[in-house]
Amino acid sequence: MILLPLVFFALLVGIDQASKYLTLEVLKPIGNVNIIENFFSLTYVENRGAAFGIMQGGKWIFIMLTVIVCIACVIYYSKLANENRLKIVRISIVLICSGAVGNMIDRLFRGYVVDMLNFYIFGYDFPIFNFADICVCVGAFLLITGIMFFDRNQEEK
């Protein structure tokens, strides 16, 4: 049953890399396209840092952290898979790893992460992000939720 998570992982990394390729080919030359006025636009950004652009120039630190996090996630996933526990946690691990690897590919081959999704919500210009960032954030939310609420229920049973 290890094939399905690997296919899901590859699909998510593929979607991320395809969106970044399209961004580089189509959006980079023009810079910005308004989709919904004062709410959502596609904006080309080269992010050489982490979330919100912090730690600019820390490419190798981020690559090492990504490798460490992915190894830890695979170990944790294998323990859960052997115990046939918590589908939500297993899905969250695949999401986190696929997002982390998607951004690591950018750092390795481009030297920066391609970001393009730009939201302006309730007067706040939210930091620009990409599909891989969505995977990491949704995965982290599901992981925390799964561990806090669902893991305890299974242990009590």
Q: Which residues are catalytic?
A: 115, 133
- Helices 131-145, 3-22: axis angle to 10 degrees equals 140
Measured CA to CA, the distance from residue 48 to residue 50 in angstroms comes to 7
Q: Please give the backbone phi and psi of residue 49, each rounded to the nearest 5 degrees, phi first.
A: -125, -150
Which parts of 23-130 fold into alpha helices (H)? 59-82, 87-109
> 32: which 2 tokens?
């910005």
